[in-house]
Amino acid sequence: MADAAGLMEAAGARFSSLELIGRGSFGDVYKAFDKELNKEVAIKVIDLEES
């Protein structure tokens, strides 16, 4: 997933307030709000083409 917009589309309505907080050799890490758990979470998106 190259950007937050693509991740939001894949995540559906469960997550909001996506913010990129880090990048590494395996992918990107986003901070988001999980509406089902009612708390902030971290989402790691692994780039299978690069890993």
According to the 3-state scheme, what is the secondary structure of 1-39?
A: CCCHHHHHHHHCCCEEEEEEEEECCCEEEEEEEECCCCE
Q: What is the pLDDT of residues 1-51, one digit of tens each?
A: 456 667 767 777 888 888 999 998 889 999 999 999 999 999 998 888 865
10 near 3, Cβ under 8 Å?
Answer: no
**Does 35 count as an annotated binding residue?**
no
Amino acid 6: pLDDT: 73
Amino acid 2: pLDDT: 56
Looking at the structure of the chain, the number of domains it has is 1
Q: Which domain holds residue 11?
A: 4-46
Amino acid 11: pLDDT: 74
Amino acid 47: pLDDT: 84
Structure tokens at 9: 């589309």
Q: Is residue 10 one of the residues assigned to a domain?
A: yes
Q: Is residue 21 one of the residues assigned to a domain?
A: yes
